[in-house]
Amino acid sequence: MRVLSGIQPTGRFHWGNYFGAIKQYIELQYENDGFYFIADLHALTTVREPTVLRANVRDAALDLLALGLDPTRATLFVQSHVPEVSELYWILMTGAPLGLLERCVAFKDKEARGIKADAGLFTYPVLMAADILAYDSQCVPVGEDQNQHIEVCRDLARSFNAHYGETFVMPSARILKETAKVPGTDGQKMSKSYGNVLALFEDAKELRKKIMRISTDSRPMEEAKDPETDHLYQLYSLFATDEQRLEVRDMYLRGGFGYGEIKKRLADVADNFLEPLRKKRQELASNPETVDRALASGARRARTVASDVLARVQKACGIKP
Ligand code: ADP
Ligand code: TRP
């Protein structure tokens, strides 16, 4: 099955991005024909500093490869390296009702907050539809927040097919596990926009410091506590083995422990998981040509598929004979 997803290079990936999305992409690469891309064109709607955007794309590629995305199994590429997508985007724009785009939350949110939106942000879901349809994608794993965009994509594909004849493969969303909603250092959902993130490839010492500063409540140590509603426990569970997790769970249920102790344990299990990945990332960073080669070969493969689809679309709508 052709599985496709994109991730924006808008900053360093954090624990939420990994457990909520990237980890699941990596798992899907084994049984499927995975297409994964770094959405630099989408990031242009927010990152307007060229050196920052270039560095972010590089970092995203290094992070994804170090985390286990295997370019010999999946097709890993940069969105803008496939210009066919931008051409398809225009064709889809000509059939995109304004009302449909006005209902999209990314645009509505900005407008409601009084931020001036540009045409790029307004038509963002159409570019996303082009990303999906250009590769005959069948399954699109995304977080719940992106589901509306997949619906827009399906609407656009449906109306194109109805008007010009069967052209696009109809994709379905696969909503990534809700249980993977990772809390940040303040207990809210971890997100760049809340400034509460723990980055995956943070310096080890810095990470330990940030973990020690995770907010906790001021209930007395002796009191028994419900582990399931505690963000420190939720973070610990991401990395702990079942045995480690059950031991800490018991500590919560009995009471008589300090949060400092749990933080120390969290720093240890996280470090244990991250240390080999840091090494792998360093190795990749010192071999830039390996990364370039992986991205170039991904783009070649992606373009082969996208140019076939684009030719089909151009023929259907009368752009090409
Ligand atoms: P951010 O909120 O930090 O800007 P993005 O919106 O760029 O993150 O998210 C990229 C991907 O990571 C999406 O698929 C999203 O669902 C997932 N993701 C982001 N934060 C979390 C989180 N705290 N828990 C689970 N998944 C998350
Ligand atoms: N908009 C998505 C996000 O912010 C990223 C993205 C761009 C994407 N194009 C896509 C996801 C196509 C899935 C399919 O997370």
Are residues 236 and 300 part of one domain?
no
Are residues 256 and 111 part of one domain?
no
pLDDT reported for residue 233: 96
- Is the CB–ligand 1 distance for residue 20 below 6 Å? yes
**Which active-site residues does the annotation give?**
110, 189, 192
Ligand 1 probe mutation, 191, 192, 235, most atoms within 8 A of CB: 191
- Is the CB–ligand 1 distance for residue 192 below 6 Å? yes
Beta bridge partners of 140: 173
Give me the half-sphere count of Cα atoms (radius 13 Å) on the Cβ side of residue 25. Answer: 28
Start-end of H helices in 94-146: 98-102, 105-112, 119-122, 124-133
* Domain that includes residue 240, residue range: 202-282
- The domain that holds 248 is classified in CATH as 1.10.240.10
Give me the half-sphere count of Cα atoms (radius 13 Å) on the Cβ side of residue 152. Answer: 28
Asked if residue 157 is part of any domain, the answer here is yes
Are residues 159 and 298 part of one domain?
yes
Q: What is the pTM of this model?
A: 0.94
pLDDT reported for residue 179: 56
pLDDT reported for residue 180: 63
Tell me the pLDDT tens digit for each residue of 10-26: 999 999 999 999 999 99
Asked if residue 227 is part of any domain, the answer here is yes
Q: Which residues of the chain have pLDDT under 50?
A: none
**Total number of domains in the chain:** 2
- Is the CB–ligand 1 distance for residue 142 below 6 Å? yes
Of all residues in the chain, the percent with pLDDT exceeding 90 is: 86
Instruction: Burial-class residue 126 by CB neighbours within 10 Å (0-12, 13-18, 19+).
Output: buried
The closest-lying atom of ligand 2 relative to the alpha carbon of residue 137 is 14
